Amino acid sequence: MKRSIVPLLCCPVCKGDLTLTVTDGDDREIREGKLHCLVCRVDYPVEDGIPDLLPPSPSE
């Protein structure tokens, strides 16, 4: 995932801002990490450079 798209992303549930934590990547690319919604308190993983922004199921 290109680091430059992070400001364009928002929480799929509440449309709030997401914060990024990178565990593997460089100045331009993010390979592993998580996007976190401060409002919903939900983490969305980034694996192999792909952000998983599917809303959590109601049971979570």
pLDDT tens, position by position, for the chain (60 residues)? 999 999 999 999 999 999 999 999 999 999 999 999 999 999 999 999 999 999 888 765
- Structural domains in the chain (count): 1
- pTM, 2 dp: 0.86
* Paired strand residues for 10: 17
Domain of residue 22 covers 3-51
With respect to residue 59, please indicate whether it lies within any of the assigned structural domains: no
With respect to residue 28, please indicate whether it lies within any of the assigned structural domains: yes
